[in-house]
Amino acid sequence: MNNNIKPTTRPIIPCEHPSLLMRLNLFKENLIRLKHKKSRYKTNDTAIKTLFSDTTELKHQCESLVQYVAEAFEHYALWDYTHAYYPGRPSQQSARVDAMEGCSRVIPTLAAWIHQNETKSIPSLSQNGKALDVTHWLKQAFLAGTSPSHPGYWGKLGNYDQRICESADLALALWLSRQYVWDTFNESEKQQVVNWFQQVNDCQTVDNNWHLFPLTVQLVIKALTGNDHVQQERYTRTKEFYVGEGWFRDGAKGNFDFYNAWGFHYSLYWLDQIDPEFDPEFIRTTMREFSNSYLHLFTPKGLPLFGRSACYRLSVSAPLLASLDSPPEEGNTLCVGQVKRAFRTSLDYFIANGALEYGSPTQGVFADDARLVDNYSGPASSFWSLRALNVAIYCGDRIGLWDAEEAPLPIEQADYQFKIESINALVIGTQETQEVVVIFQDDYTQEQDPISRRLESQSRAKKLLEVCSGRAERPKNNLLRKGLTCYSSKMNHLF
């Protein structure tokens, strides 16, 4: 394992240590949220759960999931689709930033639909004959969100700002929909949009996966305008986190967890799509190496989730799908049938057991679970759960996903045991019980006991403070950092 990553001092993040003035602003933004929030949109909840409980064609499931998301977004959106106040527990950011995530984390899915289907609208899941003009939504959002005089303005970015993260998803959506959105803007409008995005060039970020967010923005701007402000030093630093076998440490002292799948490899995939000449050999090789062993973590009913952000669980198969969307390379052992089964069963398992509600992914693994919601996660943060869906929509036709016949997963064929040396983890698969176990063979911390390893619940006092202030006040329940070393696909450690 590579432990020789030069560390940097972690900065003091303002939202983690709010001043009195910041707390007053949080309270103000919470009042604005209460003023503008809408009723919970549950029209299609039963239908979408039923769809993923039955044996249904995968493409129809994915199209219906896009419709489900789009219809609810229209209900919650305000200020020309720049923000959306979804129901749920707040983050440690402001309610305003939480609402921005309600746009930024949804529109990449809508943009992927536009890109692949070459249509300006999405049919309504409710079958009421209403067409959802998502292209219009995106045009409005980009022009309003980047205009300082508009009430939906996304704001001036600062160092370590959550909106740096969100700018990457917004830029991706702009690139995906460029033919129908960006190309329709006049020169003044284009410059306004570019000016907002280029703020990231002057912003500092935490020294971890966050380097990939400005890079995404910069590559999109380069692709759309020809202006090259790509900060190669950020990419160089990201590659320093690579430890082998497709795995990245999330910062010099960070975890090895599922951010490797829905954070690192997802972002790297889009960098490769936006600019295929950027660094194809490294990006495609590392993703392939990761996916070849990563597939063994999947079962038809769950996988061994470890680390933080468990609410992003629907995105676990994103790198598998992305690995298929590259020129055939020697050493790629994935077959489209197995990837299709991994993707479909992961959606079925979670959604059929309550992972979608009120038009969005829940804040939990199945239903809402406050113990599993990190303080940086707000009501719409869970839309990162759509990252595998985004890849599937974007490249599904190209990789033969929809027409492929499903093939058994490794766990459905035989027992296995192997070690991922780069992260010092042992993987054990038992065919008879359809269970995969990952055992980390070193301790993250020596300071642990049965009580310290448990999932903690939020106290009533903290819950009240959270409701009143609009700021997350939850315990930190990253089980890796608590010292848990054994994770099962049956996920009993989470309940």
Alpha helices in 266-373 (DSSP H): 266-274, 280-294, 318-324, 336-352
Other CB atoms within a 10 A radius of the CB of residue 329 amount to 11
pLDDT at 3: 63
Find the mean pLDDT for residues 275-299: 97
pLDDT at 230: 98
Distance between CA 443 and CA 464 in Å, rounded? Answer: 35
pLDDT at 62: 97
Query: Which band of pLDDT confidence, cut at 50, 70 and 90, is reported for residue 326?
Result: confident
What is the number of H-type helices and E-type strands within the chain? 18, 12
Write out the two tokens for 201.
């060039």
Write out the two tokens for 487.
């994770």
Alpha helices in 332-386 (DSSP H): 336-352
Sign of CA dihedral 453, 459, 465, 468: positive
Write out the two tokens for 179.
């033919």
pLDDT at 316: 98
Does the structure show a pLDDT above 60 at 449? yes
Residue 252 and residue 6 in contact, taking contact as beta carbons nearer than 8 Å: yes
Find the mean pLDDT for residues 228-257: 96
Burial classification of residue 273, based on how many CB atoms lie within 10 Å of its CB (0-12 exposed, 13-18 middle, 19 or more buried): buried
Distance between CA 167 and CA 157 in Å, rounded? Answer: 10
DSSP-derived 3-state class of residue 322: helix
DSSP-derived 3-state class of residue 42: coil
Q: List the domains of the chain with CATH numbers.
A: 26-494 (1.50.10.10)
Find the mean pLDDT for residues 335-350: 97
**For residues 284-297, b (16+ Cβ closer than 10 Å) or e, as one string?**
bbbbbbbbbbbbbb
What would the 3-class secondary structure string for 174-237 be? Answer: HHHCCCCCHHHCCHHHHHHHHHHHHHHHHCCCCCCHHHHHHHHHHHHHHHHHCCCCCCHHHHHH
Q: Of the candidates 450, 466, 217, 469, which has an alpha carbon nearest to the alpha carbon of residue 479? A: 450
User: What pTM does this model have?
Assistant: 0.97
Angle in degrees, 0-180, between the axes of helices 336-352 and 387-399, rounded to the nearest 10: 150
pLDDT at 445: 80
Query: Which band of pLDDT confidence, cut at 50, 70 and 90, is reported for residue 354?
Result: very high
Residue pLDDT, tens place only, 88-111: 999 999 999 999 999 999 999 999
Does the structure show a pLDDT above 70 at 341? yes
Mean pLDDT of the chain: 95
